[in-house]
Structure 1
Amino acid sequence: MPVNPNFLERLLLFGLDRAPTPMLDLFGAAGFEAVALASKLGVFDALGERELTLQALADELDASEAGLAPFLAFLDAQRYVAEDGGRYRNTTMTRKWLVSDSETNVAPWLVFWDELVFPFWDEHLETVVREGEPPRTIYEWFDEEPSRWDLAQRGFRAAASVLVDEVSRKVDVPRGATRLLDVGGGHGLYAADLCRRRPGLEATVFDYPEALSVARAEIAESGLGDRMRVRGGDYWSDDLGDGYDIALVFNVIHANDPAENVRLFERVADALAPGGRIVVLDQLEGSASMPVSAAGLRFVGLTYRVTLDAAVHPYRSVADWLTSAGFERVGRTPIRRASPGNALVQATKSA
């Protein structure tokens, strides 16, 4: 919830405990629903860089002025739009984070939570708290309606857009590397960005066939069709190829238990050339220290339990799994930008 209480409100809410602080969660929940709906209706894209009257915006959205007016007033109070003299515009924050032509547009990530994750939560959270595990994973639920995979990958790509610059700068690509494997790469944004930065690099994005539609679009839009390809399959059983110089395993290991991650790292090691590098990106237990990042990491941990019957793993465990799978020189690199608890773990295949 972007609303930042002023000094008096912080004193009453947090210092003196004179007002019901949990009401902020209510406002935040309503704010999330409003922003997700505004994104789906196209409110922020319609405003773009311009100002519109209520009537003009209602006409453009085919919406009711009577319903749109209080909706915009709430978005104004939440600092997503600003009203001045009967005209509405996006705030600077909204133009950066919620407009489609922004490189850091996270609106699809919010829509992903609104349409997929939270409905799954509503159905299974109590069951998980009482019984310890969901009756099925969210991925199994996606399989029942393949369009859910496309929506999910668009959300994952939006989340990655915030991190991709820092992640790409910190990935240790071996000198002279020409072949990259992106295991469970889904949307393909990370592989595409690394290829843009290194003209001699070619990439294969490997994931379930249903998860690759966004990667195909990413490749087409980036103009990297001659250097990138997708391969559909199951990384537990299907051939990953061999002779790669570097392999990405991004946001994959949290879904697996320890034995499964050792097995996955062994399969990746088999696909790498001697001296090849593996790069793991995930949330790691103990990697968040400040209040917002710590809350975010705990939120992620609960989400993994509810949606995947999984958990956030500690760095020491990841390092041990990599060593068991035949990797050496294991090291951790923190990812600090807008990413609670994320880190890169990089290692080299033993010769």
Structure 2
Amino acid sequence: MPPRKVGGLNSDKIIEIATAFHLSKILFVGVEFDVFSLIGKGKLTPAEVAGKCYLPVRSATRLLNGLTAINLLKYKNGKYFNTPVSLAYLVKGKPDYLGGLMRAYDKILYDRWGELGEAIKKDSYGRVFGEKGDTIGNISIDPEIAKAAMAAQHAYSVKPAEELASSFNFSKYKHLLDLGGGSGIISVMAAKKHPKLKATIFDFPPVCKVAEGTIANYKMNSRVKTHPGNILKDPFPQGADLILISGILDGYNEENCRKMVNKAYDYLPKGGAIILKESIVKDDRTGPLFPVLFSIALMIETEGGDSRSRGEMTKWLKDAGFKNISFKTMTKLSGKFRNLGYVTGVK
């Protein structure tokens, strides 16, 4: 049925939004069956793809056509092949492979978003879905959840880590303390870019195990270490003059965010600095799109988590006592969609 026109308007935009989940699920299933990796740099017929994926030809063809319609595959002379974007991000073995992230979106978030109305009705989070704790709590105690979560996080953190390593002047400091450092990619990239810098990743024990793998992969064991613990409850490891809090403030309520910032201020020596890096939401919280959507996801998954604005992070630093506060956006390598940026301050 064609979109109905009303007073010169039509319903295209509404229908586009309403059916957007079709697009994401087609992508997720394509990744699930590893279609992009199996095609690689080649060109395959529907029967060849079906054979490699162990799928019926008829249904495989429908999937391939769907992936073509959303511009993740191309079709010519009876064969399908990857687009440049698919080759870069959806083929296993590529440095920027996003398959792990897509699997996390599919297996963790997709069903949860189906319960969004209930979560909003109850102003609740993961326990709406019968879980015993929120995402951060589960990561802190379960090695398998931690491994899956860090694999997903790492996939879209490499480019921002490279950008931060170039954008911020780490060379002024001797030792970086990376609070909630996750896979460790930012510490690794910063140390790689700045040969005199040492770094310590302070995170939950299961996460530190993942970070140790990243450190080993980049052969940075001599200057990047891990320190397992709870960043809210345990003392910070000694010796750092620079603290990074990246991509975790959105997982905590404001009280705990302030607690982290205040604890960092008390810890740092005079002249020491702090970096707060997040996907930045507008102060009125109505945009940009990604941090607003992420804010809703955080409501579902965490107890008190929310996307963070430049204004509130600046206020936290000021209230803690930091001076020379500044803000910088990150779009050169990180892209614009996530609206990444960071606030810095000096003690």
Q: Under a length normalisation based on structure 2, what TM-score does the superposition of the two structures give? A: 0.87
What is the rounded CA distance, in whole Å, between the counterparts of 2:186 and 2:225 in structure 1? 13
Letter in 2 for 1:180: L
Identity %: 18
Equivalent in the alignment of 2:345: 347
1:262 is the counterpart of 2:253: no
1:63 is the counterpart of 2:55: yes
Q: RMSD of the TM alignment (CA)?
A: 2.7
Moved more, 238-247 or 262-271: 262-271
How big is the shift at 1:19? 4.4
Letter in 2 for 1:79: N
1:129 is the counterpart of 2:120: yes
8 Å contact kept, 1:286–1:341: no
Return the match for 1:212 from 208, 214, 235.
208
8 Å contact kept, 1:243–1:273: no
Q: Under a length normalisation based on structure 1, what TM-score does the superposition of the two structures give? A: 0.86
What is the rounded CA distance, in whole Å, between the counterparts of 2:271 and 2:5 in structure 1? 56
What is the rounded CA distance, in whole Å, between the counterparts of 2:307 and 2:221 in structure 1? 35
Quickly say closer, same or farther: Cα 1:207–1:46, change in 2 above 3 A: same
Equivalent in the alignment of 1:200: 196
Instruction: Give the gaps of 5 or more residues in structure 2.
Output: 128-132
Give the paired residue count: 336
Equivalent in the alignment of 2:105: 113
Quickly say closer, same or farther: Cα 1:199–1:73, change in 2 above 3 A: same
Return the match for 2:305 from 310, 318, 330.
310
How big is the shift at 1:14? 11
Quickly say closer, same or farther: Cα 1:321–1:24, change in 2 above 3 A: same
How big is the shift at 1:49? 1.6
Equivalent in the alignment of 1:298: 292
Return the match for 2:315 from 310, 320, 326.
320
8 Å contact kept, 2:162–2:190: no
Quickly say closer, same or farther: Cα 1:68–1:287, change in 2 above 3 A: farther
Q: Secondary structure at the match of 1:205?
A: strand
Mapping 1:12-23, distance limit 5 Å: 16-23=8-15
Equivalent in the alignment of 1:90: 82
Equivalent in the alignment of 1:172: 169
What is the rounded CA distance, in whole Å, between the counterparts of 2:5 and 2:138 in structure 1? 40
Equivalent in the alignment of 2:232: 236
Q: Secondary structure at the match of 2:242?
A: strand
Letter in 2 for 1:168: A
8 Å contact kept, 1:258–1:321: no
1:160 is the counterpart of 2:157: yes
What is the rounded CA distance, in whole Å, between the counterparts of 2:284 and 2:178 in structure 1? 26
What is the rounded CA distance, in whole Å, between the counterparts of 1:14 and 1:199 in structure 2? 63
Quickly say closer, same or farther: Cα 1:183–1:223, change in 2 above 3 A: same
8 Å contact kept, 2:119–2:300: yes
Equivalent in the alignment of 1:6: none
Quickly say closer, same or farther: Cα 1:339–1:90, change in 2 above 3 A: same
What is the rounded CA distance, in whole Å, between the counterparts of 1:338 and 1:284 in structure 2? 11
Q: Secondary structure at the match of 1:235?
A: coil
